[in-house]
Structure formats: C-alpha cells, structure tokens
Chain A
Amino acid sequence: MSDNQTSLTPNTREIDITKKTVKMQVSATDKIISTIIYILFSLFAFICVYPFYSIIINTISANDLSAKGEIIFWPKGIHFQNYIDVFKIPGLGNAFMISLGRTVIGTLLTVGASAFLGFMFAQEDMWGKKFWYRFTIITMFFNAGIIPWYLTMRSLHLTDNFLAYILPSVVAPFFIILVKTFVEATPKELQQAASIDGAGIFTIFYKIILPISKPILATVAIFSAVNQWNSFQDTLLLVTDSKLYSLQFILYNYINQASSLSTMVNLQNAGSTAMATLATKQTSTSIRMTVTIIVVAPILLVYPIFQRFFVKGIIIGAVKG
C-alpha cells in the first residue's frame, strides 16, 4: 500500500493541479486557520493518548510516588512488581482465560456465520430471500429491552453458562450487510463459471467467496473480537458464578473494591517473600491501574496493525450502507 493510495483525500493531487494552472491564493487568514487546525488536532490527539500513557508509566513507577500523583510525564523508580503481584490475585488468570476463550470462539463463529449469510443473501434465488434479509436487518433497530432479554436467557438456562457469551452474537446483522455489499460488488461470472463447472453452493462459498472476501472478513473479525473482549453487560446480567467472570467484569469490581485487594496482596507478600518496600507495596491505585493495563493491552497491541485495514473495511461497507 503506497502513501498515495491510502491518502484520505484527493487534496494533495488537487494542489498540484492548481499550482500548474493558477497560483493558489494562500491568504493570511488561511495560514492562521491552518495553525489553529494543527493546534486543535494535536490537542485532541494528546487527550486521546495521554490517559493510556499515564496509566502505563504509573504502573511501572514507584508506587509511593504514584500514589502522591507525582508521575506525570516520565516514570520514576521503574519496577515490574505490580504485574507480578496482580497475576497472583486468585481469579484473575481464570477471568483472562474466559475473556480469551469467548473472544476466540465467538469471533470464529461470528466471522463464519457473517461470511456465509452475507454470501447467501447475495444469491439471487433463495426462497423468501427478501423476507429473511429483512427479518435479519430489523433486529438492528428493534429489541425487546434488557429485562425481557434477561428473562429469556434465564428461561433458556443460559444464565451462568459460557454459551451465553457466544450464541447470541453469532448472527450479526451489521457484519452481514458488510459482507453482502462486498460479495455483490465482485464479478458475477466467478460464481457462474464455478457453478457451470459443477461446483455446489458450499464449494463456491469455500473455494471462491472466502478467499476473495479476506479484506472484509478481516474487518469483521477485528470488530467482533473487540466486541467480545470488551463485552461487560452480559456478564453483569447473566453471570453469578465467579468462574465465568470476564476480565472486564473483574476490572469493574476492582475499581470498586481495590483497597481490600491491595491489603490482601500485601499480606500475601509479607508472608512469602521479603517485606515489600514502599516503592513496590501495593496500593489500591496500583492494583487498579495494573489490571486496567492488562485489560487494555491486547487492544493497544492489535490496534495499530489493523487500524488502516478496518478503516478501509468500514468505508467499503459505508458506500452502499
């Protein structure tokens, strides 16, 4: 991908054109406006990044300095004891596995279903296609409400059940629209040719549609993975069994009760290893921040790799709505 292709506007090209034909008027007001734009955007970018940055430097700084609010721009007294201690907290490793599990399994199923349904809804002949497509899309705009939803899940015995994290999100209308739009934009001849050669619907799907739909499926995959990883409401409503707590839910609990946790961790450490110094002694703040970083880290790591990709994906989908 060259810079020209990913450039978001045609502006750069236009300026070249205008330079050749007429001398573009760059007035003093234009310059002032440009400067203001740069300053405002830089400021907003700073506001978007700083909270993450500041928490990271706080978790690796001396906890006593951090507690006093002295870590603003640079870490001081760097140590990694916070991470070692936090991973010892019972239940956290389990929650990590739950979050990871639902993200992996949920994403695979959602991507598979979105790909297949998007492909099927792009078929011209299907019994009641129009009806079933609407049947699917309407659910984007309409739902019964959280309490009827909760009561339904309870009557299906999906409370305190891992499947509750996965099954409801398998059919995702928005992703289906994205794939359908994409498939409809591919040449019809591809499918026709395969069909004449005797390929069945599954062969066409597997051998032709899946490989060419990779870009859009990657977009769907990353969205759905982020949704699964971030999901909090379903644990809140449906789960009482602590074995099924997700990382987000644990974090929420820690924010509200971190002080008792820090006492626990410090007691544990006092018994086993050498006495924690002031710098590594856990405070409620240090625990909370460390867990925050553990929860946000996967997103921070994956995000820069996929960002360009899914911006394109959403634009592909947005063209037709």
Chain B
Amino acid sequence: MRSETMRSQSMRSNSFRKFLYISPFMLLLAVFAYYPLYGWVYAFFDYTPPIPLSQSEFVGFKWFHSLVENQVKIDQLMQVIWNTFGISGLGILFSWLPMIFAIFLTEIKAVRFRKFIQTVTTLPNFISWVLVYSLAFSMFSSEGMVNGFLHMTGLTDSPTMFLQSSEHVWWTMWAWATWKTLGWSAILYIAAIMGIDESLYEAAYVDGATRMQVIRHVVLPSMMPTYFVLLMLQIASFLNNGLEQYFVFQNAFNKDTIQVLDLYVYNLAMGGGSYSVSVAISMLKSVISVVLLFSVNGLSKMLRGEGIV
C-alpha cells in the first residue's frame, strides 16, 4: 500500500518533469504565436511609428469606424473584399482538380511514366513565389520569351503586356497557384486511393464494370470524405490568401484587382504607415476566420458526425 502511494507520487512528479522538459518550447510558442495577439491593442490607439504606444492616445473604436466613414473608403474596402472573395472563390470552385488529377494519375498503368509525371508535377510546389514570379517574368514580360516567340513567328507586332494588365488577374493568379500546387495537393488523394479496399475493385470488375464505371462507383465515392475535409479547411481559410504571391505579382497596373486583404493590410501599414487601421483590419480578419473555422467545423460535425479540427 505504502509503496503504491510512493509510486503514484513519483509518477506524478515524473509527469510534471516531463512538462518541464517541453516548457522552453511552449514558451517560444507563447512568445511567437500568442504574444502577437497583444498587438491588437494598437487598433484602439492613435499610433504613429516613432511615438511609443504608451504616449499614444486611446481612441476606442475610431479606426473601425474610419473603415466605413465615407463612400471612398467603403468602395476601396469593398473592392479588396471582392478580390479576396474572387480569388478564394476560384480556388474553391476548382478544388476538385487535385482529386481528378489523382484519380486519373493512378489510372496510368505504365509505372515509369506515372512516377515521372508525379515527380515533375510536384516540383513547382517547392519553389518560392519569388521564384515563380521570376519564371513568370522571364516568360511573360514585354521582353520575355513568349513575346519574343510571338514576335519571331510574326503573330504580333507589339509586345503583349501579360503581367501589367489589370484584366483577368484573378484567373492568372488562380492559374499560377494551380501550376504550383496541383501535383502536390493530389498526394493526399493518392494516399486515399491507396487505402481503398481491393475487394471493391474486384467485385466491380467481376460485375463487368468498365474503367469509367469503376471510377464513378468505386473510386469517387471513396474520395468524398477526403475531399470534404479539405474543402472545409479551404472554406475556413477563405480570407487568408496569404501575402507573398500577390505581393510579388502586384504592380501599378493590376493593383486594383490583385489587392486581397493580406496584401491590403501590408500595403496600408508598410507602404502608408497606417498601422492602427491595418491592425484593425487584421483583427477583424482573424476573428472572422476563427468564426468561419468553427462554423465549418460545426457543419462538418452535423453532416458527417466528426469535426475537422
């Protein structure tokens, strides 16, 4: 009896010691992931960079009001939100592409060819957006290869401004993102296809199903849970397009249609020095994102009986 209490005591202290071992890492996390939340107070102060926050004036919700203060500002913000919705929307509209990619890739029976395709198409995922932009610039700028080629073959006289046009920006941004991530995103679906019970295939073939029928009645239904989870995650991060892609592709000509929320926040603060307004928008964005995540999680629980987070 006594030895048992001693054992449980030593186990308890042991379990606390285990926490102590990870505590430095938890501290790092607290500093770099949680402490920045404190930065939200800047949204409630009249903060201009050289003057420290302690000497700045508390202004309450002034900056939040200022976002919708006059028609010009409303229009600007609406355009940014519209862009965010447009670009994210295109992504969600075509979110089935990686699934189809994976299904047809696994249909290829020539092993070498299939491996080659998989290797080559995942490569773009591993380069940075700066490099993507550099490739895009080399190919599509006014003195790039595509224009050189068009000129050489006599198809056009004057160079086409692919990168400096405000038209089709959402589509070109979608196209670059797809180019970069399609092969990589397919990997999760390939993993799911590997997990399909072989007897399902056998049964289908014995019943005389053609390949397309097998895909439709065996493969596709097995993919749906994976697709659903990924779609939910994509919807949850609807507002978070990220900064880098749009930052590198932005220029004076496409600014109006390329500015998504993340880029807008950056441009306001780093370009215009309006920290407080930027933080206010950041803050709204984060709050809406969390609400979205939990709604989608709740929806997932309701529909499928399990959450995604």
Which positions in A face B, CB cutoff 8 Å?
A: 3, 6-15, 17-18, 21-22, 24-25, 27, 29-30, 33-34, 37-38, 40-42, 44-45, 47-49, 51-52, 54-55, 58, 67-72, 113, 116-117, 120, 123, 125-129, 132, 135-136, 139, 141-152, 156, 167-168, 170-171, 201, 226, 229-233, 236-237, 248-249, 251-252, 255, 285, 288-289, 291-292, 295-296, 299-300, 303-304, 307, 311, 314-315, 318-319, 321
Contact = CB atoms under 8 A, between A and B. Distances in A.
B248 A252 contact: yes
B293 A141 contact: yes
Contact of A201 (B21, B138, B179, B196): B21
A113 B105 CA distance: 36
Given A12-B111, A48-B124, A248-B128, A148 B19 contact: no
B50 interface: no
Contacts of A255: 130, 133-134, 137
B282 to A, nearest CB: 3
Given A33-B211, A146-B265, A299-B127, A151 B39 contact: yes
B124 A29 contact: no
Contacts of A127: 15-16, 18-19
29 contacts: A18-B206, A37-B104, A41-B105, A41-B117, A44-B121, A51-B135, A52-B123, A69-B143, A70-B152, A127-B15, A135-B29, A144-B39, A144-B282, A145-B279, A146-B265, A149-B36, A150-B269, A152-B38, A167-B28, A168-B32, A201-B21, A226-B126, A233-B244, A236-B247, A248-B130, A251-B130, A255-B133, A311-B122, A321-B229
A141 B194 CA distance: 28
Contacts of B285: 145
Contacts of A135: 26, 29
A219 to B, nearest CB: 12
B39 A232 contact: no
A31 to B, nearest CB: 10
Contact of A14 (B133, B138, B190, B205): B205
A129 B81 CA distance: 40
Given A49-B120, A125-B15, A226-B126, A21 B206 contact: yes
A232 B129 contact: yes
B271 interface: no
8 closest Cβ pairs, A-B complex? A69-B148, A148-B39, A145-B282, A230-B128, A144-B36, A127-B19, A9-B106, A139-B33
Contact of B309 (A52, A141, A201): A141
Given A144-B40, A147-B275, 7 more contacts: A41-B104, A117-B25, A126-B22, A148-B38, A248-B131, A315-B190, A318-B188
Contacts of B111: 3, 7, 12
Nearest to A6: B115
Interface string B191-212: 1011110100110011010111
A315 B23 CA distance: 30
Interface in B208-251: 208, 210-212, 229, 236, 243-244, 247-248
B129 to A, nearest CB: 7
- Which secondary structure characterizes the binding site on chain A? helix
B202 A17 contact: yes
A31 B179 CA distance: 27
Contacts of B139: 51, 54
Contacts of A291: 134
Q: How large is the interface on B (under 10, 10 to 19, 20 to 34, 35 or more residues)?
A: 35 or more
Contacts of B46: none
Given A48-B124, A51-B139, A143-B286, A319 B191 contact: yes
A45 B35 contact: no
B278 A147 contact: yes
B290 interface: yes
Nearest to A304: B119
Nearest to A233: B244
Contacts of B114: 8
B44 interface: no
B151 interface: yes
Given A9-B106, A252-B248, A285 B138 contact: yes
